[in-house]
């Protein structure tokens, strides 16, 4: 399936891009992050991240569908 | 206009404050977050805020709605800057009006705590020594794990 | 200009706020007390504030000095109106800047609590039914014992 | 001795004036208040008041001097 990834903050720095289209057999955010972590060398354990699918917070085990926008959120520092 | 917004230009605090007016309100508490010239002992020159806008606005609105349900208040608003900011710039503004001051203080503090805890906005600090780094607080007392910025990670 | 003042004309909150600027300050909390349209269930039309000016200014300055000693803050100011005020008018303004928001919230709240507790200023509320009365809080939960104003006591 | 009294809020209403010069043999604020309470019908027990002498908070038993400015402060309601 094909997913659209957005990257922010240090994840964007590590990936060297702010977005990318990914073709993957990962069926949920947990599996997808494991693949992308290996590809881009992300330093965060998933326990320190949140994940959003199509603009809403989601579970790591939520079933992904073709075309979903997936965003891994590192710890925030607004305010 | 919605009660929470990301904004790429300077915040007009006086104009925002007027949106809180209510004839039954006797108290108004505002919080302003300013860009400091230091963090964890390092001199800071400027910073950049980046946001995942769609989710940040959804989370921000949810926090303000929650505040109106949790506390006896009349109105609550929040604006957060994105982009480049200089020392002394107003980065985030929160305002609450209420009949009584206790609820106004409690709600204002709760809102800024929640904004900092869960709204997807990230700060990149640029230091006097030329380094920069995204701040990713780890929940410890130290407050933040710092990641070198893209300039450094290219080396 | 001193940090506490009684003022007979409208308070310029934006101008006051600028006096709190400090490059090391990351947080600014302000409290505004507005004239409400009701008190203890009675509709209020307007009110008058009277002050024993010499002592009020001395006590107000002492409270701000105490706040700077008790809390890690950078600056604290307070203005209080005297004379006739209408619904929605800004009666009292307190502003505090600090490196961190916890101290700014705590100090701002402590200052307004102390101002209300001990600065010699009195409020005369004018009600929709034509009565008026000085408020003299008795420290109970009800908050205030009300004394009929001079119009009534002449009867 | 001669004292200058200032009255505020409901005390001014009860006294029908905002200030007055008083000749009295009272030697401290406690004794002076008892005399003025009887004259003007003040409703406050002294326990609910504070007293200021010459612009500073004072004790009820402080010795007064000729010419002192004395102010009895009813419970305040600023803010």
Domains of chain B: 2-33+54-120 (3.90.1170.40)
Across the interface, do D77 and C117 touch by the CB < 8 Å criterion?
no
Domain of A53: which CATH number?
A: 3.10.20.30
Segment among A62-71, C88-97, C139-148 with least mean pLDDT: C139-148
Question: What pLDDT is recorded for position B153?
Answer: 33
D15 part of a folded domain: yes
Question: What pLDDT is recorded for position C151?
Answer: 38
Compute and round to an integer the Cα radius of gyration of chain D.
Answer: 11
**Residue D13: which domain range?**
2-73
Across the interface, do B26 and C17 touch by the CB < 8 Å criterion?
no
More confident residue, D68 or C130: D68
A79 part of a folded domain: no
Which chains reach chain A with 3 or more Cβ–Cβ distances below 8 angstroms?
Answer: B
**Nearest residue on chain B to C39, alpha-carbon basis:** B24
D14 part of a folded domain: yes
Say whether pLDDT at B152 is over 90: no
> How many Å apart are CA D26 and CA D6, to the nearest integer?
17
Give chain A's domain count: 1
- pTM more than 0.90: yes
pLDDT band at B147 (very low <50, low <70, confident <90, very high): low
- For residues C83 and B15, the answer to whether their CB atoms sit within 8 Å is no
A78 part of a folded domain: no
Average pLDDT over residues D11-34: 98
Structure tokens at C141: 């939960």
Condensed to tens digits (0 to 9), the pLDDT of residues A8-59 reads 999 999 999 999 999 999 999 999 999 999 999 999 999 999 999 999 999 9
A18 part of a folded domain: yes
Q: Judge A/D contact: 3 or more CB pairs < 8 A.
A: no
A10 part of a folded domain: yes
Condensed to tens digits (0 to 9), the pLDDT of residues C17-61 reads 999 999 999 999 999 999 999 988 899 999 999 999 999 999 999
Sorted by sequence, the CB contacts under 8 Å of residue C6 that are 6+ apart come out as C51, C53, C56, C57, C60, C79, C80, C81, C82, C121
Average pLDDT over residues D26-39: 98
Across the interface, do D9 and C124 touch by the CB < 8 Å criterion?
yes
Question: What pLDDT is recorded for position B145?
Answer: 55
Say whether pLDDT at C149 is over 70: no
Q: Give chain C positions within 8 Å (CB) of D78.
A: 49, 51, 56, 80, 92, 115-116, 119-123
Other residues' Cβ atoms within 10 Å of the Cβ of residue C26:
22
Say whether pLDDT at C145 is over 70: no
Average pLDDT over residues B24-35: 97
User: Can you tell me the ipTM of this complex?
Assistant: 0.92
A28 part of a folded domain: yes
Condensed to tens digits (0 to 9), the pLDDT of residues B47-91 reads 999 999 999 999 999 999 999 999 999 999 999 999 999 999 999
Question: What pLDDT is recorded for position D14?
Answer: 97
More confident residue, C139 or D46: D46
- Measured CA to CA in angstroms, residue D51 lies from B44, B126, C143, C145 at distances of 52, 57, 22, 19
Question: What pLDDT is recorded for position C40?
Answer: 86
**Nearest residue on chain C to B26, alpha-carbon basis:** C34
State whether residue B142 is helix, strand or coil: coil
Say how far residue D3 (Cα) sits from the centre of its chain.
Answer: 10
Chain B residues with CB-CB distance to C under 8 A? Answer: 13-14, 17, 21, 23-38, 87-88, 97, 99, 101, 104-105, 108-109, 112
């Amino acid at each position: 399936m094909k997913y659209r990834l957005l990257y922010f903050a240090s994840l964007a720095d590590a990936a060297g891009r702010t977005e990318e289209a990914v073709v993957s057999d990962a069926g949920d955010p947990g599996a997808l992050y494991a693949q992308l972590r290996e590809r881009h060398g992300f330093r965060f354990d998933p326990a320190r991240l949140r994940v959003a699918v199509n603009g809403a917070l989601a579970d790591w085990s939520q079933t992904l569908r073709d075309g979903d926008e997936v965003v891994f959120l590192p710890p925030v520092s607004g305010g | 206009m919605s009660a929470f917004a990301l904004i790429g230009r300077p915040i007009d605090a006086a104009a925002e404050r007027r949106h809180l007016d209510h004839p039954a309100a006797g108290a108004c508490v505002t919080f302003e977050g300013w860009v400091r010239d230091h963090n964890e002992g390092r001199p800071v020159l400027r910073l950049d805020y980046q946001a995942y806008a769609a989710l940040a606005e959804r989370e921000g609105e949810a926090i303000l709605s929650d505040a109106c349900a949790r506390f006896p208040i009349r109105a609550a608003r929040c604006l957060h800057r994105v982009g480049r900011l200089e020392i002394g710039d107003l980065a985030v503004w929160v305002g609450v009006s209420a009949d009584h001051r206790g609820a106004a203080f409690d709600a204002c503090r709760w809102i800024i705590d929640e904004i900092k805890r869960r709204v997807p906005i990230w700060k990149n600090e640029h230091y006097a020594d030329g380094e920069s780094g995204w701040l990713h607080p780890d929940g410890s007392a130290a407050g933040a794990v710092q990641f070198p910025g893209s300039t450094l990670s290219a080396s």
